[in-house]
Structure 1
Amino acid sequence: MADGRVERGNQTRRAVLDRTMSIASVDGLEGLSLGKIAADLGLSKSGVFALFGSKEDLQLATVRAAVDVFLNEVVRPVHRDPDGLSKVWRLCERWLDYSRRRVFPGGCFFYAVSAEFDARPGPVRDEIAKVRSDWTRYVERLLDEARPAGGFGSPEDTDAVPQLAFELMALMELANAHSVLHGDPLAYERAGRGILGRLRAVAAAPEELPERPPVFSSSS
């Protein structure tokens, strides 16, 4: 009986977080309300409160749940790929597809909540900043690992990796923002062309990368 209660609690928690991730990607983390979530899911407000304790706890749990979705959609599928710029491209391609398919209704969850909390001090901002820093370091790590595999830049060019990572992420996030605001799926293809252009320009063997990205013709 105790195990049954724990499992029901876990199921309720997952249902709440599925709902809060969708809401936050559109309305922001400040748009979350324990009472509204309870009403939407047919739960008691006291039951939701018992699971999360406060709005801030709910916001933090939502960010962490979104991290796991992001890892499953973008990072884990390329984890075992051989090191090299092809792996970097595959990661970027996964990111563009994750945004294009609206895994979260508002596009990239972290783009949305970063803009909401970037100037607000506190635990939620700190958690979002950590997630963003972890993502940046991961992209930089893949680029660093591409060097021995025929990658780019001279050993003394210490800014080559951070600069390229910054440019790739900027292209991805602009595609997300442009598509969400204007409903234009071509933004993903344009970003893909830009990313491939940068990677091919620094690659020792550019022929190992596609010349053009796939055609992202719709969000379906």
Structure 2
Amino acid sequence: MAPRRAVRSLQKGQQTRAAILEAALGLASHMGLEGLSIGALADVTKMSKSGVFAHFGSREELQIAVVREYHAKFEEEVFFTAIREARGLPRLRALYERWVRRVSVEIDSGCIYISGAVEFDDRPGPVRDALVSMVKAWHAALHRAIVLAKEVGHLKPDADVEQILFELHGLILSLHHDARFMRSPGAIGRAEAGFERAIQSYATPAGLKADREHSPKSAAAAIKKRP
């Protein structure tokens, strides 16, 4: 019986930690990582401070756990669904479109990658290191998708991989700024149109053909979609 009790106790502890982490993620999305505290989390979860502290030994550990949880959800929603698409422009488009979709649902809450970059850009330490590591992992996935698009002949041989990555990331940052901070109508449509223009600039005829077959969308269509 003792082993069973131990297993049940472990499972309960894991469930409690997951529930606390979910609440912490919600708080951080609205208040930023710096808005997180053991006390605030205890109030939200209706637990004692000592109970929360038992699962996260410090505020810093809690912040890092939230960063990792956010990254896991981001990967599940954006990366793991997109890589099912064919290599080349279809996959690169899927990564970008799911990224835009993710930002669109975060307009009222916020992106921890972006808010965290503002909070910790000049503050070295484990939390900043965790944020940088997660963003680098995502950039590496995009970089690989762009390289593969070149290898299969969907992007021009002289296409600058780093420049394409920079431009796509820039579009997302502009989308987040205009949609969340400026509340500008049509921001999502402009982010979509920006991607179409980038594709037109860097893609080969074979790449454009493959892109049309998988996602029949043009720059004109993207512009027309702007609300």
TM-score, with normalisation over the residues of structure 1? Answer: 0.90
Deviates more, 1:73-82 or 1:16-25: 16-25
2:32–2:116 Cα contact (<8 Å) kept: yes
Q: Distance in 1 between matches of 2:20 and 2:226?
A: 31
Give me the CA root mean square deviation. 1.8
SS at match of 1:147: helix
Q: Distance in 1 between matches of 2:93 and 2:41?
A: 38
Q: Distance in 1 between matches of 2:192 and 2:65?
A: 32
- Residue 14 of structure 2 corresponds to 10
1:122-170 Cα shifts (integer Å, max 9, x gaps): 011111111111111111110000113222232xx4x700111110111
2:24–2:41 Cα contact (<8 Å) kept: yes
- Residue 51 of structure 1 corresponds to 55
Q: Is the aligned partner of 1:99 residue 2:103?
A: yes
Deviates more, 1:56-65 or 1:129-138: 129-138
Give, as a single letter, the amino acid of the residue that structure 2 aligns with 1:58: L
- Residue 178 of structure 1 corresponds to 178
For residue 109 of structure 1, report the CA deviation from its aligned partner.
2.0
1:28–1:112 Cα contact (<8 Å) kept: yes
Deviates more, 1:68-77 or 1:206-215: 206-215
Change (3 A) 1:77 1:215: farther
1:1-220 to structure 2, matched below 5 A, reads 1-102=5-106, 105-154=108-157, 157=158, 160-184=160-184, 186-205=186-205, 206-207=208-209, 208-209=211-212, 210-211=217-218, 212-213=221-222, 215=225
Q: Distance in 1 between matches of 2:113 and 2:185?
A: 19
TM-score, with normalisation over the residues of structure 2? Answer: 0.87
Give, as a single letter, the amino acid of the residue that structure 2 aligns with 1:152: L
Q: Distance in 1 between matches of 2:135 and 2:96?
A: 15
Give, as a single letter, the amino acid of the residue that structure 1 aligns with 2:41: I
For residue 216 of structure 1, report the CA deviation from its aligned partner.
7.0
Q: Which has the higher helix share?
A: 2
2:84–2:91 Cα contact (<8 Å) kept: no
Give, as a single letter, the amino acid of the residue that structure 2 aligns with 1:165: L
Q: Distance in 2 between matches of 1:69 and 1:16?
A: 16
Q: Distance in 1 between matches of 2:25 and 2:199?
A: 33
Any stretches of 5+ residues in structure 2 without a counterpart? Answer: none
Q: Distance in 1 between matches of 2:16 and 2:137?
A: 29
SS at match of 1:14: helix
1:15-42 Cα shifts (integer Å, max 9, x gaps): 1111211221222111101011111111
For residue 187 of structure 1, report the CA deviation from its aligned partner.
0.7
Identity of aligned residues (%): 34
1:25–1:113 Cα contact (<8 Å) kept: no
For this pair of structures, how many residues does the alignment match? 213
1:25–1:108 Cα contact (<8 Å) kept: yes
Give, as a single letter, the amino acid of the residue that structure 2 aligns with 1:115: V
